[in-house]
Structure 1
Amino acid sequence: MAFDTIIRNGLWFDGTGATAEVRDLGITDGRVAAVSATPLDADGCDDVVDASGKWVVPGFLDIHTHYDIEVLEGAGLAESVRHGVTTVALGSCSISTIHADPVVAGDLFGRVEAIPRDHVIASLEANRTWNTGEEYIRAIEDRALGPNVCSFIGHSDIRASTMGLERSTDDDIKPTKAELRRMERLLVEALDAGFIGLSTNQLRFDKLDGELCRSRTLPSTYSKFLEKRRLKGIVRRRGRILQSAPDIKMPLDIAFQALGSIGLRRKPLKTTLLAAADVKSNPVSPYVLQGLATVANRLGANVRFQHLPVPFTVYADGIDFVIFEEFGSGEVAMHLTDCIERDELMRDEDYRRRFRKDYDQKFGIRVWHRDFFDAEITDCPDPSVIGKSFGQVGLDRGGIHPVDAFLDLVLEHGRKLRWYTTISNHRPEILRKFATADFIQLGFSDAGAHLRNMAFYNMGLRLLKHVRDAERAGTPFMSVERAVHRLSGEIADWYDIDAGHLRVGDRADLTILDPEHLDESLDGYHEDQVAQYGGLSRMVNRNNETVRAVFISGKRVIRDGEPTDILGVRRTGSFLRAGRPTPPPTASRAGVQERSSAVAR
């Protein structure tokens, strides 16, 4: 047999958790054609890769992204692919681009996910050619898709497109019978096309952008019991997945959603909930989530909590960040788009008094720990404050309240004031427990969103570093094989998509890693411009020496950490339809895509 590519002498992980072994891999027509303990015959093979001393692992799956907009004009999705991710899930948090018109989509994505609203609108106006889920899949595969994608259909998407944004965000209005039937029909249509399930959202601090319904919560938060029951019933009967963000301010909502997965005389509702985190503001939350998931699954549920397996460190420019949406005074400031109005608000003593009261309220369930002594300034026109916390700045300025120190600096420097804090996942021992827990799914990167606030594109690499460091220190908590399985095959099997494994016959989606460079470089801070967002500088990760190569459908799309000339030019990825095997792009199809992309440029 003549192979298209041979990968020689690498430590091969098959994505099942089985013991890794040194093997040669032969790739033909986008799939693994041979796995051999002896050298494969290289006659007729023009691409032989020496992977001696390297790990050959299945491409990682990122189960929670917001690439729905970026994929339309930057389909290579290089920021994820260059870190070993070969499959991404779209349509998270109840928002997708299947049915909502461009302006409504701009309102859904702009503020919640911090993706420039004007670009959302312009991109959809220029690129939208679909009206159904099936047409959306064809449109995605007509692009020079880099990684594979799968997608949820968003509850807010189908609700807003059915009822209109204004009616769908009015708590006094329920959908008519005809509107409810249409939402059901759109959901069934998407599932028939191969979407992996329905995403919904009950978080009350996820707010709309725009002018028409600005600062209202997402449409799915206004749905009532009957609507949710009927939509969930469809997902349950079809054996697909419900992704949900419960209202964290109502603990019973989290419990009801977990327990709602229980089947009794019917199928369990496969449910993935946002999110398991070791939150600084509530140190007992990991134990509560573990207990809840354990009880629910023992009673017959099939529920998983998504978890980011690294410290959740976030950055902000001034006051523009979603964490301020979770309390009243912060929400008031975020509602204002006019800088002059916002500045006047922050100067007002009554407003400051309210902000201080919200800040000092330490009880209750929340995301942000509200401790300005735990928030370090990294950039500011005033160099004297760089490296200090806002609390320390307050002490330096005569002992003023940390809130006043923060607001004063925002007034002085606006978005030129850059700072960071770690909100959760700060205790290594809890990270280790979550990494091994059966009720946990490793994901929740939010790739493609919050462009100035966070960068977890390399979360899989950072997990492998954590595992390997513990192993070297003589305190192992999980094998490398198990960690690779959790990032690949385990997720693919649960979502029922054709990905995540590296055995004969599997898709040749793989990464070659240098384990000696699972090092401190993974934690470095980097920024890069996004051409399609008008040159906006976003946070990224850069680990070029760690990722030696990435192959998707047997095509090398990353070499030594950098994109090759085919990524984003020639289609290598596919839309993975739930429950169905998905063939890699054929050579003729990929060639057509390469030519069409060149014409488009």
Structure 2
Amino acid sequence: MTRCDVVIRGGTVFDGAGSAPRVADVGVTDGKVVAIGEGLPDGVRTIEAAGKWVMPGMLDVHTHYDAEVLGSPGLGESVRHGVTTVVFGNCSLSTVYADAEDCADMFARVEALPWDAVNAAVKEHKDWDDPKSYAASLAGRPLGANVAALLGHSDIRVAVMGLERAVDGNVEPTAAELDRMRHMLIDALDAGFVGLSTIRSSFSKLEGKRYPTRQLPSTYASWREYAALNEILRQRNRVHQSTPTLTSRLEMARYFAQSAGRFRRPLKTTLIAAADVKADRTTARAAVAAAWLSNKLGGARFRWQHLPVPFEVYADGVDLVVFEEFGSGVAALNIRDVMRRSELLADEGYRRRFRKDLGKRFGPRVWHRNLYDAEIVGCPDAAVIGKSFGQVADERGIHPADALLDLTVAHGSALRWRTVIANDRDDVLDRLQLSPQVQVGFADSGAHLRNMAFYNFGLRLLERVHQRGFMPIEQAVHRLTGELADWYGLDAGQLREGARADITVIDPAGFDGSSAAYAEAPMPGIDVRRMVNRNDRAVAATLVNGHLLYEYGKFAKGFGTDLHAGTFLRAR
């Protein structure tokens, strides 16, 4: 045979479909897998993979890279972890139609991104005016990973109605405006978008100077508006992704009803999130059971998104999205000026409300609000580092809530602390990852830059499986690759002759437990040190479209600047 561009020699090959692995060579030419077998001659480039796993590149289906991809198209934090395809446009947020200021107002607070960075990225780089030209613009950039997109409902609602009307609960779109939104969605699906994203969560607040206390536009829509758009998705077999108000059973019933397909074509629906929430240990079991009933009895095509690692979050002072779930927390986050916020936090009347909110132990919630389970990891007062707010309170003879507020008033964002909100029990994590009612996702890559880092969620799942053995490795690979690609209708997730050469080579010798360690790194193009996870010994190589982009901590020359590897993947 003709000499291949790349030969991956002697690795344990997983096809992404769940088949048993085999030891073989993989040959790549012109961006395609052209041979899988033994004894292939050396390629122009040969990668020695004996003792390593050769698998399709992983998919990350819940990201918010919409702004980052414009200025830093390599998406290196995903590529370095073996991810070769990302999906953005989640949670009703995309940058297809809305102008730069509207995009910044919508993305900044709910996704904890710098307002100026989002505004500048869209303003500087926007050279499209519809989904087709948006897809072409992305495909023409020096992408590292492949990208696929959902169309954000908040995006089209603002473009049609204007921001003021779109976030007014007393205003519904006119028939002409709803028809325009429908045609925007049709144009996006024609351009290859995988579907539509919406949001109902009350956590989702706007940033900016105009309407900083309002929620995202999608939350103000009626179910009649959703149904009109969902019917298009159902006809085209595309995806509805959403962030629900998990505390409302009626809301959840509506999602299940929309997905149902006993007497019609089902609607592919994926929601965040199936999680073993510390605040309510019944959540995970109830979520999986409800999804099973919906799929089995209602003929739905429903999946929960699931993060396969402990849900550990960090906060600077009170800047953390979970404070949006109770009134006094919202009041603090609504004040963006540091001095004015400190005045509020110091007020005794406010503190009474804050203590009462944190003391509530019943009712639906995400955060456990246990300040004995919140460790201080950074503070100018070195004496409190390594202690919980509860411990500090005991030492000072005050309420734990006052310890948090005192330290925040004194040190502002220099006070840094951490807690685990969900997924802290291995046996429950195992069961969730084995459930066909969930799909592996919800990494929120590209968002919450100072709050969490799950860019390497796939590696951490593989490491857990390797160490705990609760499912076969080939099944874990399938869950991270072929299963997601098939569900979203993307040309990805397979390692077979004729397939795209999007390949990850994993070195299991690098599974040393360091993948969960805290780390920070500068974010390209933005004056922010974002949280990351790094284990450069676990990924031996990442190839996208046959291009070798990354090896053991080093990126290829021209990565993200001149090297065009990834492309815009159109949904089938």
| Shorter-chain TM band | over 0.9
Q: 1:41 — aligned with what?
A: 41
Cα distance per residue 1:421-472 (max 9 Å; x no partner): 000001111100011100110011000000001010111111011111113x
Amino acid at match of 1:130: W
Q: 8 Å contact 1:546–1:561 — kept in the other structure?
A: no
Q: 1:502 — aligned with what?
A: 495
Q: 8 Å contact 2:3–2:44 — kept in the other structure?
A: no
Q: 8 Å contact 1:156–1:218 — kept in the other structure?
A: yes
Quote how far apart the aligned CAs of 1:213 are.
1.1
Q: 1:41-80, aligned counterparts within 5 Å? A: 41-42=41-42, 45-80=43-78
Amino acid at match of 1:89: V
Task: Write out the 4+ residue segments of structure 1 that deviate beyond 3 Å after TM superposition.
Answer: none
The equivalent position to 1:156 in structure 2, one of 138, 146, 154, is 154
Amino acid at match of 1:460: G
Q: 2:506 — aligned with what?
A: 513
Cα distance per residue 1:466-488 (max 9 Å; x no partner): 111113xxxxx200000000000
Cα distance per residue 1:211-261 (max 9 Å; x no partner): 111121110110012211101111111110000111122122123212321
Amino acid at match of 1:340: M
Q: 1:487 — aligned with what?
A: 480
In 2, the alpha carbon distance for the partners of 1:112 and 1:126 equals: 22
In 2, the alpha carbon distance for the partners of 1:28 and 1:372 equals: 56
Q: Is the counterpart of residue 549 in structure 1 residue 547 in structure 2?
A: no
Q: 1:13 — aligned with what?
A: 14
Cα distance per residue 1:285-319 (max 9 Å; x no partner): 11111110010001200000000000000001111
In 2, the alpha carbon distance for the partners of 1:483 and 1:122 equals: 39
In 2, the alpha carbon distance for the partners of 1:365 and 1:503 equals: 46
Q: 8 Å contact 2:74–2:559 — kept in the other structure?
A: yes
Q: 2:565 — aligned with what?
A: 572
Q: 1:599 — aligned with what?
A: none
Amino acid at match of 1:537: R
Q: Is the counterpart of residue 101 in structure 1 residue 93 in structure 2?
A: no
Q: What is the number of residues matched between the two proteins?
A: 569
In 2, the alpha carbon distance for the partners of 1:2 and 1:247 equals: 55
Q: Secondary structure at the match of 1:227?
A: helix
Quote how far apart the aligned CAs of 1:264 are.
2.6
The equivalent position to 2:409 in structure 1, one of 408, 411, 419, is 411
Q: 8 Å contact 2:288–2:438 — kept in the other structure?
A: no
In 2, the alpha carbon distance for the partners of 1:49 and 1:406 equals: 52
Q: 1:559 — aligned with what?
A: 551
In 2, the alpha carbon distance for the partners of 1:574 and 1:285 equals: 38
Q: 1:459 — aligned with what?
A: 457
Q: 1:52-451, aligned counterparts within 5 Å? A: 52-299=50-297, 300-398=299-397, 400-451=398-449
In 1, the alpha carbon distance for the partners of 2:262 and 2:22 equals: 42
Q: Secondary structure at the match of 1:532?
A: coil
Q: Secondary structure at the match of 1:95?
A: coil
Q: 8 Å contact 1:92–1:154 — kept in the other structure?
A: yes
Q: 8 Å contact 2:505–2:539 — kept in the other structure?
A: yes
Amino acid at match of 1:234: I
The equivalent position to 2:517 in structure 1, one of 516, 520, 524, is 524
Amino acid at match of 2:530: R
In 2, the alpha carbon distance for the partners of 1:384 and 1:2 equals: 64
Cα distance per residue 1:10-30 (max 9 Å; x no partner): 000010110111000000100
Quote how far apart the aligned CAs of 1:137 are.
0.5
Amino acid at match of 1:280: K
Quote how far apart the aligned CAs of 1:74 are.
0.3
Amino acid at match of 1:488: T
Cα distance per residue 1:492-525 (max 9 Å; x no partner): 0111110001000111111111111112111111
TM (norm. structure 1) is 0.94
Q: 8 Å contact 1:549–1:561 — kept in the other structure?
A: no
In 2, the alpha carbon distance for the partners of 1:532 and 1:192 equals: 33
In 2, the alpha carbon distance for the partners of 1:459 and 1:505 equals: 28
In 1, the alpha carbon distance for the partners of 2:444 and 2:466 equals: 25
In 2, the alpha carbon distance for the partners of 1:381 and 1:56 equals: 46
Q: Secondary structure at the match of 1:92?
A: coil
Amino acid at match of 1:85: V
In 1, the alpha carbon distance for the partners of 2:419 and 2:250 equals: 29
Q: 8 Å contact 1:246–1:254 — kept in the other structure?
A: yes
Q: 8 Å contact 2:189–2:195 — kept in the other structure?
A: yes
Amino acid at match of 1:464: L
Q: 8 Å contact 2:148–2:193 — kept in the other structure?
A: yes
In 2, the alpha carbon distance for the partners of 1:124 and 1:309 equals: 32
Cα distance per residue 1:123-172 (max 9 Å; x no partner): 11111011100000111012101100100000000001110111011110
Q: 1:589 — aligned with what?
A: none
In 2, the alpha carbon distance for the partners of 1:353 and 1:41 equals: 74
Cα distance per residue 1:34-77 (max 9 Å; x no partner): 000x21123xx321111011111110000000000000010000
Amino acid at match of 2:547: K
RMSD: 0.8
Q: 8 Å contact 1:148–1:574 — kept in the other structure?
A: yes
Percent identity of equivalent pairs: 51
Quote how far apart the aligned CAs of 1:578 are.
0.4
Amino acid at match of 1:485: H
In 1, the alpha carbon distance for the partners of 2:87 and 2:524 equals: 23
Q: 8 Å contact 2:270–2:304 — kept in the other structure?
A: yes
Q: Secondary structure at the match of 2:356?
A: helix
Q: 8 Å contact 1:557–1:566 — kept in the other structure?
A: no
Unaligned runs of 5+ in 2: none
Amino acid at match of 1:39: G
Amino acid at match of 1:270: K
